[in-house]
């Protein structure tokens, strides 16, 4: 049911209200939603005053803001050799349909906003369809195509033979000089990118490793051009040198950040750079390998084994040192709809549940530049609201079982 234009308001009676994660929860409360917006929060369980108003009884639930995943890839979660076969055999139009399917899994899991960090355009189309009201889905902040150097992590030609590559159109996401890096950022923005994403290092899934794959002046050109156009920048970086290069260049967030040292932590704190840990990628790896030990090519498997072994060590250093943390899963490597698995790993590696929830609401909204719209339950903000049984501040695993979801005033998932 939607609380759209002309509709009667919706009254949500909450047993416990975590209106601003990171602050103490409120007791029994009533949230009034109208025209897709939160218009008031009242103490106690208030009965609807308007005739025809809709009442949602969550008096035995904890109610909190819709969750935000700052790093997803909606167009697929078929990894390894199976993902490569799908890329070669399926028509590209299928990607948009798969993105919508995965988007709905994500939305029903309580993630009302995502930042999609790169595909070939499927999620740009989905974002527009959602904004037009054609289909349901989470709010999407999209990067269009991730940017790479030739032969780098996001140069998808590396897994194909030369005969196939010869028949592909020239990629629009590669840059190898200051001039071409500026051009490729402008191209992604022209396509509709809300955020720019590029890689300073190789990657695990591509088998390109930890080494830095970009020169300092190229990274600076990418960041400066994006910022000049009002776009934030997310940087894929695993190795320490590549992380430092990205932070010095002015990146707004470091994705993965697998190898951190004290210098990186000092730089990130000084620059205010967010860290998006993406710990639950390991779940995707372990599940695929359990089903098929040959799910990945041998050179990729070596890097996956390394990533599994080192996961969480950077978060264990960064969080207590005061680096800003935003929630992100890299769903697509892990399974869509299972985004909340990340919370358990964040807590395992040192974050209190309350801080992990804050990372997926208040902090992620700040990173995405959407703090005025989402991240808390306050009058004037979008009615992105979820509920769970029990108290997730005491047991963060409860967020794996979200049983009520409202997105922009529309009830997507109800208790019934």
**Over the stretch 178-218, which tens digit does the pLDDT of each residue have?**
999 999 999 999 999 999 999 999 888 776 778 888 999 99
Same domain, 50 and 88: no
Are 253 and 214 part of one and the same domain? yes
Question: What's the pLDDT at 172?
Answer: 79
Whichever domain contains 386, its CATH number is 2.30.40.10
60, 83: one domain: no
Both 201 and 314 in one domain: the answer is yes
Residue 1 lies in a domain: no
- Candidates 100, 19, 4, 103; CA nearest to 62 is 19
For residues 35 and 81, state if they share a domain.
no
Instruction: List per-residue pLDDT tens for the chain, 416 residues long.
Output: 444 445 789 999 999 999 999 999 999 999 999 999 999 999 999 999 888 899 999 999 999 999 999 999 999 876 655 555 666 566 777 888 999 999 999 999 999 999 999 988 899 999 999 999 999 999 999 999 999 998 767 656 555 556 655 545 456 789 999 999 999 999 999 999 999 999 999 888 776 778 888 999 999 999 999 999 999 999 999 999 999 999 999 999 999 999 999 999 999 999 999 999 999 999 999 998 999 998 888 888 988 999 999 999 999 999 999 999 999 999 999 999 999 999 999 999 999 999 999 999 999 999 999 999 999 999 999 999 999 999 999 999 999 999 999 999 999 999 87
Residue 115 has what pLDDT?
A: 98
274 within domain boundaries:
yes
**Does 84 lie in the same domain as 30?**
no
How many CB atoms within 10 Å of residue 401? 13
Task: Report the pLDDT value the prediction gives residue 210, as an integer from 0 to 100.
Answer: 81
Q: What is the pLDDT of residue 212?
A: 86
Do the domain assignments include residue 3?
A: no
Residue 77 belongs to domain with CATH number:
3.20.20.140
Is 141 domain-assigned?
A: yes
Sign of CA dihedral 333, 74, 67, 191: positive
Same domain, 46 and 138: no
Query: 22 lies in a domain?
Result: yes
Q: Are residues 130 and 15 in the same domain?
A: no
Q: Which residues pair with 411 in a beta bridge?
A: 406
Nearest C-alpha neighbor of 225 from the set 165, 185, 268: 185
* Residue 242 forms part of a structural domain: yes
Residue 149 in tokens: 């150097």
pLDDT value of residue 94: 81
pTM of the model: 0.93
- Nearest-angstrom CA–CA distance, 382 and 38: 6
Tokens 């997105």 sit on residue: 407
Distance between CA atoms of 87 and 276, rounded to whole angstroms?
Answer: 27
Could you tell me if 31 and 89 lie in one domain?
Answer: no
The dihedrals phi and psi of 272, each to the nearest 5 degrees, come to 75, 25
Q: Give the helix/strand (H/E) hosting 107.
A: helix 93-108
Q: What is the pLDDT of residue 86?
A: 61
Q: Contacts from 12-15 at CB under 8 Å and sequence distance 24+?
A: 12/56, 12/58, 12/63, 12/385, 12/406, 13/45, 13/46, 13/55, 13/56, 13/57, 13/58, 13/59, 14/58, 14/59, 14/61, 14/62, 14/63, 14/387, 15/58, 15/59, 15/60, 15/61, 15/62, 15/63
Does residue 4 sit within a domain? no
pLDDT of residue 52: 84
- 214 is a domain residue: yes
Parallel, antiparallel or unpaired: strands 232-237 and 253-256: parallel
Phi-psi region of 159 (alpha: psi -120 to 50; beta: other; left: phi over 0): alpha
d(CA 147, CA 185): 8
One domain, residues 203 and 322: yes
Number of domains in the chain: 2
Rounded Cα gap, residues 238 and 242, in angstroms: 7
Count of other CB atoms within 10 angstroms of residue 228: 12
Q: Give the number of other CB atoms < 10 A from CB of residue 298.
A: 8
Q: Are residues 84 and 24 in the same domain?
A: no
β-partners of residue 12 are: 31, 56
Helices (H) and strands (E) in the chain, counts: 14, 15
pLDDT for the residue 76 = 80
Domain that includes residue 182, residue range: 67-367
Model pLDDT, residue 153: 72
pLDDT on residue 138: 98
Domain shared by 216 and 299, yes or no: yes
């Amino acid at each position: 049911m939607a609380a759209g234009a002309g509709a009667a308001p919706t009254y949500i009676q909450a047993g416990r209200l975590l209106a601003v994660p990171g602050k103490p929860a409120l007791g029994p409360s009533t949230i009034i939603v109208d025209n897709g917006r939160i218009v008031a929060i009242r103490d106690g369980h208030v009965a609807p005053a308007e005739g025809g108003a809709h009442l949602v009884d969550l008096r035995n639930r904890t109610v909190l803001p819709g969750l935000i995943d700052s790093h997803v890839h909606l167009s697929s979660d078929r990894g390894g050799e199976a993902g490569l076969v799908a890329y070669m055999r399926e028509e590209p139009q299928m990607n948009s349909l798969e993105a919508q399917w995965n988007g709905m899994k994500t939305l029903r899991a309580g993630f009302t906003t995502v930042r999609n960090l790169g595909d070939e355009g499927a999620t740009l189309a989905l974002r527009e369809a959602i904004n037009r009201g054609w289909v349901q889905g989470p709010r999407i902040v999209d990067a269009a195509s991730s940017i790479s150097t030739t032969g780098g992590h996001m140069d998808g030609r590396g897994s194909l033979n030369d005969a196939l590559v010869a028949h592909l159109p020239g990629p629009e996401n590669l840059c190898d000089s200051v001039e071409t890096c500026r051009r490729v950022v402008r191209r992604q923005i022209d396509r509709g990118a809300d955020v720019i994403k590029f890689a300073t290092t190789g990657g695990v899934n591509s088998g390109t490793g930890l080494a830095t794959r970009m020169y300092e002046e190229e990274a600076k050109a990418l960041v400066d051009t994006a910022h000049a156009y009002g776009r934030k920048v997310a940087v894929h970086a695993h190795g320490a040198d590549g992380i430092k290069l990205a932070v010095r260049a002015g990146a707004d967030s470091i994705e993965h950040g697998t190898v951190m040292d004290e210098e990186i932590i000092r730089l990130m704190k000084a620059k205010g750079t967010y860290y998006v840990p993406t710990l639950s990628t390991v779940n995707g790896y372990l599940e695929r390998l359990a089903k098929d030990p040959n799910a990945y090519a041998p050179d990729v498997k070596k890097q996956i084994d390394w990533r599994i072994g080192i996961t969480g060590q950077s978060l264990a250093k960064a969080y207590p040192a005061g680096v800003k943390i935003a929630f992100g899963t890299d769903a697509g490597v892990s399974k869509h709809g299972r985004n909340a698995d990340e919370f358990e790993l964040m807590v395992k590696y040192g974050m209190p549940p309350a801080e992990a929830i804050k990372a997926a609401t208040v902090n992620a909204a700040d990173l995405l530049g959407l703090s005025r719209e989402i991240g808390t339950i306050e009058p004037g903000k979008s009615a992105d609201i979820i509920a769970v049984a029990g108290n997730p501040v005491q047991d963060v695993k409860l967020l794996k079982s979200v049983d009520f979801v409202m997105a922009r005033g529309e009830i997507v998932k109800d208790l019934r």
